[in-house]
Structure 1
Amino acid sequence: MCVITSIQPQKNKRNVNVYLDGRFGFGIDLVNFVKLGIKIGQEVSEEKILEIIKKSEQQKALDKLLRFATLRPRSQKEIESWLGKYKVHQSMRDEFLAKLRHLELLDDKKFTQWWVEQRRNFRHFGDKLIKMELIWKGVDKSIINDVFEGNKDSNDQKSDAMLILSRKLQHLRKVPREKMYRKLFGFLQRKGFDYEVIKQAIDELLLKE
């Protein structure tokens, strides 16, 4: 058995150093420090020390994960990739995923709704490209289809297409009309717009010219 002889705060003020029999024993985060009731004069076994260190390592990993998950919404695949990248032990993964769900930080449907809104409003991407991105991020196709069914508006897609076309057109005014049409069509295809939306947007825009 060892005796806790001193407790000193670390420079980051989120952890403390615990000294056993006058020598450094281990560092621990404040959450577990309070939860475990660690105090000077307390006797701890080697088994207890290992348990404390394990809990502290778990808390450090969870804190890092929470920072990652709160920077922006994440898909479950992104979270699982993060857990793999930082070699979080399998025994902790289910617990961490459950914690994120409890905090409403892990929900692929909400993530998909957010992603669609961001890509449409700020990048002006077409639905085809957005769907491909979501598949790459590991979202189930049934969730993707449900979200797009609830947000189906071809007029919005056409408006987005016309908005980015009007900017592109500024650089193509001296290009022959047929070549201009091909360039605009290819540009919108790469942005992920459907054939009908592309055709309607270009035809309507060129009529105004």
Structure 2
Amino acid sequence: MVKKITMIEAQKKHAGRYNIYLDGEYEFGVSESVLINFKLMKGMEIDKNMQSDITKSDSVSKAYSKALDYISHQLRAESEVIEKLKKLEVDEATMAEVMAKLYEQNLLNDQKFADSYVRTMAITSDKGPTVIRQNLKAKKIDDNIIENALAEFDNNTLVENATKAAEKSMKHYHRIPEKMRLQKVRVALMTKGFSTDLINQVLNDLVVETDEEDEWYNLTVQAEKVWQRNRKYDNRTRIMKTKQSLFGKGYQMDDVNRWMEENNY
């Protein structure tokens, strides 16, 4: 059945979109690009096949516009765009056309995305290669692409970032003994994704500032807590368990014994 376009009007709430009326009744809406591509005009006759082609083309146009809006604010990985279109309930056939169009116009490129991501993380974060690699894999970036991007993360930047992270952790754990503090810093750097070799290098070069008065004060505070917690034991067992607990917290044997002696335990 053939129908004739009797009116084309711009939509009031959606700029760039138009309502198409066939035989005096509203039939469907189209984007400006579809309007131009199909050369739609008043008086034009449209059959069912042509109308189907128009609506399919408009579905691609709408999905493409939404994809463009999504990637206009920042670079996106292919998987992120696909996930976005899925959330918008775009069907697979339409999605395939949209993705092909984005690649054709060089608007999607996982290597460029990965390169940019690594550069940004190197400058703005204290994360190491392992965490960055995991983040990129979570975005379904190919392993070869990830390794190519990480190759741009030069060693000087790695050392600088790891050192900053180590110094930050040292300040955070300043109330615990030096030995335990270094262990905490090591774990923190591992969690942030730095390699064992790099961590060893950074910790070897790290200047550890230890205030003996602060350490002694912290020991006395911790010792009092542990001593009170062990009050249910007999004196000999209480001393043994208190010492074990304080040694486990990283305090030196001489300092623990000194505290015991000063308190006549």
With normalisation by structure 1, the TM-score equals: 0.88
Q: What's the counterpart of residue 19 of structure 1? A: 21
CA-CA distance at 1:92 after TM superposition? 3.2
Map 1:37-76; keep pairs closer than 5 Å: 37-76=39-78
Amino acid in structure 1 at the alignment position of 2:201: Q
Q: What's the counterpart of residue 250 of structure 2? A: none
Q: What's the counterpart of residue 179 of structure 1? A: 180
Rate the CA distance shift 1:39–1:154 in 2: closer, same or farther, 3 A: same
Q: What's the counterpart of residue 81 of structure 1? A: 83
| Range that drifts further, 77-86 or 120-129 | 77-86
Identical pairs, percent: 26
Q: 2:126 aligns with which of 111, 119, 124?
A: 124
Q: What secondary structure, in the 3-state scheme, does the structure 2 residue paired with 1:170 have?
A: helix
Instruction: Please give the alpha-carbon distance, in whole angstroms, between the structure 2 residues aligned to 1:112 and 1:152.
Output: 12
Amino acid in structure 1 at the alignment position of 2:204: D
Q: What's the counterpart of residue 238 of structure 2? A: none
- Gaps of at least 5 residues in structure 1 are none
Q: What's the counterpart of residue 257 of structure 2? A: none
Instruction: Please give the alpha-carbon distance, in whole angstroms, between the structure 2 residues aligned to 1:53 and 1:73.
Output: 30
Q: What secondary structure, in the 3-state scheme, does the structure 2 residue paired with 1:47 have?
A: helix
CA-CA distance at 1:208 after TM superposition? 6.5
Instruction: Please give the alpha-carbon distance, in whole angstroms, between the structure 2 residues aligned to 1:93 and 1:16.
Output: 23
Instruction: Please give the alpha-carbon distance, in whole angstroms, between the structure 1 residues aligned to 2:51 and 2:144.
Output: 47
Question: Quick check: which has more Rg, 1 or 2?
Answer: 2
Rate the CA distance shift 1:152–1:64 in 2: closer, same or farther, 3 A: closer
Moved over 6 A (4+): none
- Asked whether the 8 Å contact 2:122–2:153 carries over to 1, the reply is no
Query: 1:102-131 CA deviation, whole Å, 9 max, x = no partner?
Result: 222222221111111112211221011111
- Asked whether the 8 Å contact 1:124–1:164 carries over to 2, the reply is yes
With normalisation by structure 2, the TM-score equals: 0.71
Instruction: Please give the alpha-carbon distance, in whole angstroms, between the structure 1 residues aligned to 2:153 and 2:115.
Output: 12
Amino acid in structure 1 at the alignment position of 2:74: R
Q: What's the counterpart of residue 204 of structure 1? A: 205
Q: Which has the higher contact order (CA 8 A, sep 6+)?
A: 1
- Asked whether the 8 Å contact 1:70–1:105 carries over to 2, the reply is no
Q: Does 1:98 align with 2:104?
A: no
- Asked whether the 8 Å contact 1:75–1:137 carries over to 2, the reply is yes
Q: What's the counterpart of residue 8 of structure 1? A: 9
